[in-house]
Structure 1
Amino acid sequence: MTPPPARRRRGGAPERSFPRKGSVRRSQMITTYGVGSMIAVDNESFIVSGIDSWNVDGAPTIHEHRLARVLGVQFFRLPPASDDTSKDGVHVRRFPLWHSCPTCNALQHVRGFNSPPGKNECGECDEELVPSRFVMACARGHIDDFPYWKWAHRNNRAGETGLCGGAMRLRTSGKTASLRSVLVSCSCGIPEVSMEGAFRGRALSDLKVRCSGKRPWLKDAPVEPCAEAPRTLQRGSSVAWQAIVRTALSIPPWSGGLAARLADHWETLRAIDRSELELALKLITLKDKDELPLEQVVALLDAENEEDAGTEEARTKDRANVALRKKEYERLSEGNPESSADRDEQFICERPRSSTSVLLPYGVTSPMLVKRLREVRALKAFSRVDTPDSHADVHEAQLSLTPLNWLPAMEVQGEGVFLRLDEERVDSWARNAAVAARVERIRSNHLRQLRERAKDPKSAPDSPASARMILLHTLSHVLVNEWSLDGGYPTSSLRERLYADETMAGLLVYTATSDSAGSLGGLVAQGEPAKLEKALRAALTRATWCSADPLCVESEASGAGSVNLAACHACVLLPETSCEQNNGLLDRALLIGTPEDPSIGFFTPALH
């Protein structure tokens, strides 16, 4: 991405003079290095500041009305970009604050090293300091430096609260690569101790270390009282920061250019009476010098009123994802031909021109070619320690100290293929006793996992695992793998979007990526009935055998939390960026059966 030119004041000087500390792609600010995450720059470590400290004056605005209403904001912004000469952009703060010197082994707060101005060096050794590898965090998102003094003095404390006054040291023996070789000592004469055992769940609680309630990513944030038990984490651990991202496809009537043009006036248009709408549009037209069609504006207002009740229910029941997807499912099923769309339309979905009869043996009905789509991905919050899941109870750490009317987001353009399965055939297959038994094993394991994660097991959310969901999810995975091999797409550039509940039975495989992979119509071509039939047959045939068989197909449980059955990295698992369910709720036996009982496979009749 080419960043915009540096913004300057009238006098010609940069707006700010903060030193530049490296760069990341804009998309990484949503998924990898978002607010509250730790980022390594050379030999230094920083934490990304809250969005209320970002300089977003020149950052592009993103409008996606449906998603904004669900998340309670007015609009979204791309993270601000800057080049090598500008001094603005996303702000970071040094974290962790405890560092060590690899030469003299001193371990202390970074201020104690008397570093030269502008450098992160030991004042005695002129050696670059090493940020602490370890931090402590809790499930409410709080994070702080690891309590090295309490860890080293756990059996030799000078009173309950007093310090010994000695100088801490950190060294590595080099004997092993384990924590046993990371040694902490103090000049007061206590025995040297290793970091072994620091990652036990109750390691810090046993030392009577409580969560400090600190939020270093938020400027001037007060300390929050917190009763959560802190955990030791490695600074680069995957659970030290995990994004909570919400997404939505732009669909009619919001996918045209009109919705974005009206964004600044929308609240006014909603509040006025319909009889005054035409006059209000004329006044807006005088200001914007552009005609606004009354019929289309009325259609937007009607669409919003229709979604009002569903959206409010979705907010209270935390089912916003379902509310959004039902509308998408309707639009994907109905289509939006290019011939009837204007040039600004961001959603083009058409039926194939050739006959779809070759797909009937597979139970596939009404495949749709999504020739143009736009997806908005917004960073809602983040979590620590607990793994976020769309159906799990995790604390959502805030992105700013005070609520703002926007969230950071990115928009991507792409294309895809939408498939629906015959719901009557799926329901008939799901009534098979053997199928129901396999689904129940997955469902019970997933429910147990959700109860373990929930603070109150009685209020744990229900599992989405059903025969329909697992079938669609596994089919999506084998198709992604097949199109990656046959069409030349990187697997990570393909994504799935599942539509599975009592009223939906569809899946969308699409190429909404921030680069150019699959943006020239190649995936849409794979959705033509003749090619799709060959891809389905090849994918399902490939799924009949795995290099890990018979262990894979005979597995009683697999995957994190045992929420899979016949699924492994050699057959159906995908890169994490491509899967909506963290590679869970998968079972290829429901596609093609098992050697002992082929009848449980939904597609078994089509392969014989």
Structure 2
Amino acid sequence: MTPPPARRRRTGTAGQAPAHNLLRRGAVRRSQMITTYGVGSLVAVDHESFVVSGLDGAAEHWNPDESPRIYERRLARLLGVQHFRLPPASDDNSKDGVRVRRFPIMHSCPECNELRRHRDFTPPPGRSVCGTCEADLVPSRFVIACEAGHLDEFPYWHWVHRATGAGATTAGQCGGTLKLRSSGRSSSLRSILVSCTCGVPEVSMEGSFRKSALKDLGLRCRGTRPWLGTSVPAQSCGLSPRTLQRGSSAVWQPVLKSALSIPPWSDGRADPLAEHWDELRKLSSREEVEMCLKFAFKGESPVPVDEVMAFLDAEREEDPTGDEPPTFDRRDHALRNKEYERLRAGNDERERSRDEQFICETPLGDPTVLHPLGVTGPMLVKKLREVRALKAFTRLADPDSPTEGREAALSASELTWLPAMEVRGEGVFLRLDADRLDAWSRATAVAARAERIRTAHMRVMEQRATDPSRVPPSPATPRMVLLHTLAHVLINEWSLDAGYPAAALRERLYADDNMAGVLVYTATSDSAGSLGGLVAQGEPDRLARTIRSAVRRAEWCSSDPLCVEAEASGTGGTNLAACHACVMLPETSCEHNNVLLDRALLVGTPDDPDVGFFANI
């Protein structure tokens, strides 16, 4: 066959390479690029499957108009970046967007039953069909992954040849062609049959999901990261991979970090300084700051020097105190502590500018009606902005894994930005009476129930950790479990009264020795999050009725008495009296993946009613 003539590279009008006009494979919502289909996840488009590419080079090929920058200094400082970017929102005229790569590579043809790499079927350009049968190819239903975040093809050749004792070095050298078919007898793995034309016996996929199935074949993780492309070398790993369904939620879990925009950062006046904070933080005097600003902006600064000094003072207030090194957890705790102080204090009309994105007011009603309930300090958050950034992702384990070594990076190189989304809405903030809470927490029965949850949670974290000796302490204290469960029952109650479904509401907990607060707010990424239906529920009279109704509703569960008398429930026993029939929420609403819950700490148990904080009502 005569080779085709050499192709001359086309250039634009200015002699430059033309903009990419890549084949469009589908569309997802912008917010899903953070929560569901982020970097490293698998996306099914029609009958094809792709992995979302890493962020190397995305700063150049993401259109600034379709992927604008967003700023939240407190969160950027926590994550060590300068700014964030919204994932591109494209239309039919867009030249680029979020890029994907075909994965898995192994496909099967439903007509000839051959199981090959996609390109070995010689499909026509831009189509995913068998070159012989012209039937739509089916991506492999199975992939393998390890807890370090690596992702790879399922080793079909090793699986079908395991009885022959062939080692990993002889993979694919039998000269045969793999075939995949279904017997049709059932929908189980036993009916999915793999064979090879070299003559080895046909085997089913039954047993491939066992934890040690691939380890028994002598296979270890190869450290492949297909979302970063073939030019990035594989990492040294050696962990035992696990077989997963391509569409399983265990294949990809996001690691999200978020922060509320609070004064003085909530009016956007500090945004022009985003790329200069590292230099400004090193300076102490006003003269040095003024000189730095003149050099950075080549003239007059868009932000007055007095305001810059106020920003630096506000930032230093969030520095972790003490002699211990400023770890990520300590910086995150300092961030929450500052939000708690601002939610308690609020901001009156004199402090607001036209661009203010945080409005928090004291309700007009008499808050003393809440005192018999042990609730104090309600605040109406009439306007708020939250930025949620995708920091990394995990596979197999939950994203709240205690060690960062299991987090898979979004790029092969260091980034000065991360993908993020903005949430604008409203909320209600309330606190629990500190004296009553301390007295309740010291009760022997209360401490014993919380200790059971804490022990189970520590055990789960140690099992997931690469170094069990470095696992941080579990946050499962009586105060934490109580606040978490209270937030869940309030969300369930307000989903009936406020006009929002439970999945559109979200909790934000403030729980340690000096904090005891709950913020419930709308979690939508559009204007529907600020219709006023939730903030109206924060008036003291209405809030008191809501708490009483929520507690009464929590007294009974359709799974009782099994639920309330459970010795352990949830993942690894990290819950007690909690199930999907009473206090569990959609995953979009809960900060802690529906763990650290116990309804009994709200209402008590039949044997010991006094263990409940709200037992008196």
Q: TM-score range by the shorter chain?
A: over 0.9
Which of 131, 142, 149 is 1:134 aligned to? 142
Q: Which runs of 5+ in 1 are unaligned?
A: 1-7
Measure the CA separation in 2 of the matches of 1:137 and 1:551. 36
Which of 133, 137, 151 is 2:159 aligned to? 151
Q: 1:14, 1:87 within 8 Å by CA — same for their partners in 2?
A: no
Aligned AA (1:204): L
Matched, 1:431 2:442: yes
Matched, 1:63 2:71: yes
- Which residue does the alignment assign to 1:47? 51
Greater shift in the superposed pair: 186-195 or 151-160: 151-160
Measure the CA separation in 2 of the matches of 1:534 and 1:171. 60
**Residues 485 and 311 from structure 1, CA distance in 2 versus in 1: closer, same or farther, beyond 3 angstroms?**
farther
Cα offset for 1:276?
A: 4.7
Q: 1:393, 1:455 within 8 Å by CA — same for their partners in 2?
A: no
Which of 130, 133, 139 is 1:125 aligned to? 133
- Which residue does the alignment assign to 1:25? 29
Matched, 1:92 2:100: yes
The CA deviation string for residues 267-315 of structure 1, in whole angstroms up to 9 with x for no partner, is 454455412545666788996796x344322210111233344599675
Aligned AA (1:275): E
Matched, 1:206 2:216: yes
Measure the CA separation in 2 of the matches of 1:564 and 1:158. 46
Matched, 1:321 2:332: yes
Aligned AA (1:89): G
**Residues 313 and 99 from structure 1, CA distance in 2 versus in 1: closer, same or farther, beyond 3 angstroms?**
farther
Return the TM-score normalized by structure 1.
0.94
- Which residue does the alignment assign to 2:251? 240
Which of 86, 89, 100 is 1:81 aligned to? 89
- Which residue does the alignment assign to 2:356? 345
Aligned AA (1:135): V
**Residues 213 and 510 from structure 1, CA distance in 2 versus in 1: closer, same or farther, beyond 3 angstroms?**
same
Matched, 1:102 2:106: no
**Residues 160 and 346 from structure 1, CA distance in 2 versus in 1: closer, same or farther, beyond 3 angstroms?**
closer
Measure the CA separation in 2 of the matches of 1:394 and 1:507. 31
Q: 1:370, 1:524 within 8 Å by CA — same for their partners in 2?
A: yes
Helix, strand or coil: the match of 1:222? coil
- Which residue does the alignment assign to 1:584? 595
| Percentage of matched positions with identical amino acids | 63
1:196-595 equivalent positions in 2, closer than 5 A: 196-219=206-229, 220-267=231-278, 269-271=280-282, 273-278=285-290, 292-310=303-321, 315-316=326-327, 318-389=329-400, 391=402, 395-595=406-606
Q: 2:158, 2:168 within 8 Å by CA — same for their partners in 1?
A: no
Aligned AA (1:118): G
Matched, 1:186 2:196: yes
Cα offset for 1:29?
A: 0.7
Cα offset for 1:393?
A: 6.1
Q: 2:168, 2:219 within 8 Å by CA — same for their partners in 1?
A: no
Measure the CA separation in 2 of the matches of 1:404 and 1:285. 23
Helix, strand or coil: the match of 2:371? helix
Structure 1 vs Structure 2 CA RMSD = 2.3
Q: 2:424, 2:527 within 8 Å by CA — same for their partners in 1?
A: no
Cα offset for 1:9?
A: 9.0
Measure the CA separation in 1 of the matches of 2:567 and 2:318. 43
Cα offset for 1:265?
A: 4.6
Q: 1:70, 1:315 within 8 Å by CA — same for their partners in 2?
A: no
Greater shift in the superposed pair: 463-472 or 383-392: 383-392
Q: 1:172, 1:182 within 8 Å by CA — same for their partners in 2?
A: yes
Measure the CA separation in 1 of the matches of 2:320 and 2:529. 37
**Residues 88 and 596 from structure 1, CA distance in 2 versus in 1: closer, same or farther, beyond 3 angstroms?**
same
Aligned AA (1:195): M
Helix, strand or coil: the match of 2:327? helix
**Residues 285 and 449 from structure 1, CA distance in 2 versus in 1: closer, same or farther, beyond 3 angstroms?**
closer
Q: 2:108, 2:139 within 8 Å by CA — same for their partners in 1?
A: yes
Q: 1:311, 1:320 within 8 Å by CA — same for their partners in 2?
A: no
Aligned AA (1:403): E
Helix, strand or coil: the match of 1:411? strand
- Which residue does the alignment assign to 1:113? 121
Cα offset for 1:427?
A: 0.9
**Residues 48 and 160 from structure 1, CA distance in 2 versus in 1: closer, same or farther, beyond 3 angstroms?**
closer
Cα offset for 1:486?
A: 1.5
Aligned AA (1:92): V
Helix, strand or coil: the match of 1:320? helix
- Which residue does the alignment assign to 2:185? 175
Q: Which runs of 5+ in 2 are unaligned?
A: 1-11
Measure the CA separation in 1 of the matches of 2:112 and 2:87. 40
The CA deviation string for residues 134-161 of structure 1, in whole angstroms up to 9 with x for no partner, is 1111111111111100000001256763
Aligned AA (2:202): E
Aligned AA (2:40): G
- Which residue does the alignment assign to 2:6? none
Cα offset for 1:411?
A: 1.0
**Residues 544 and 276 from structure 1, CA distance in 2 versus in 1: closer, same or farther, beyond 3 angstroms?**
same
- Which residue does the alignment assign to 1:5? none
Measure the CA separation in 1 of the matches of 2:334 and 2:388. 16
Q: 1:62, 1:78 within 8 Å by CA — same for their partners in 2?
A: yes
Aligned AA (1:46): F
Helix, strand or coil: the match of 1:239? helix
Measure the CA separation in 1 of the matches of 2:475 and 2:13. 53
Cα offset for 1:333?
A: 1.0
Greater shift in the superposed pair: 8-17 or 72-81: 8-17
Aligned AA (2:274): A
**Residues 159 and 281 from structure 1, CA distance in 2 versus in 1: closer, same or farther, beyond 3 angstroms?**
closer
Aligned AA (2:459): R
Cα offset for 1:565?
A: 1.2
Aligned AA (1:205): K
**Residues 124 and 504 from structure 1, CA distance in 2 versus in 1: closer, same or farther, beyond 3 angstroms?**
same
Measure the CA separation in 1 of the matches of 2:323 and 2:188. 51
Return the TM-score normalized by structure 2.
0.92
Measure the CA separation in 1 of the matches of 2:386 and 2:397. 27
The CA deviation string for residues 220-246 of structure 1, in whole angstroms up to 9 with x for no partner, is 111211121111111111111111111
Matched, 1:35 2:46: no
Measure the CA separation in 2 of the matches of 1:285 and 1:161. 59
Measure the CA separation in 1 of the matches of 2:220 and 2:89. 38
Cα offset for 1:318?
A: 3.3
Cα offset for 1:107?
A: 0.2
Q: 2:107, 2:115 within 8 Å by CA — same for their partners in 1?
A: yes
Query: How many residue pairs were aligned?
Result: 598
Helix, strand or coil: the match of 2:74? helix
Q: 1:369, 1:524 within 8 Å by CA — same for their partners in 2?
A: yes
Cα offset for 1:344?
A: 1.0
**Residues 569 and 311 from structure 1, CA distance in 2 versus in 1: closer, same or farther, beyond 3 angstroms?**
farther
Aligned AA (1:168): L
**Residues 309 and 364 from structure 1, CA distance in 2 versus in 1: closer, same or farther, beyond 3 angstroms?**
closer
Q: 1:20, 1:87 within 8 Å by CA — same for their partners in 2?
A: no
Helix, strand or coil: the match of 2:144? strand
Measure the CA separation in 2 of the matches of 1:199 and 1:289. 60
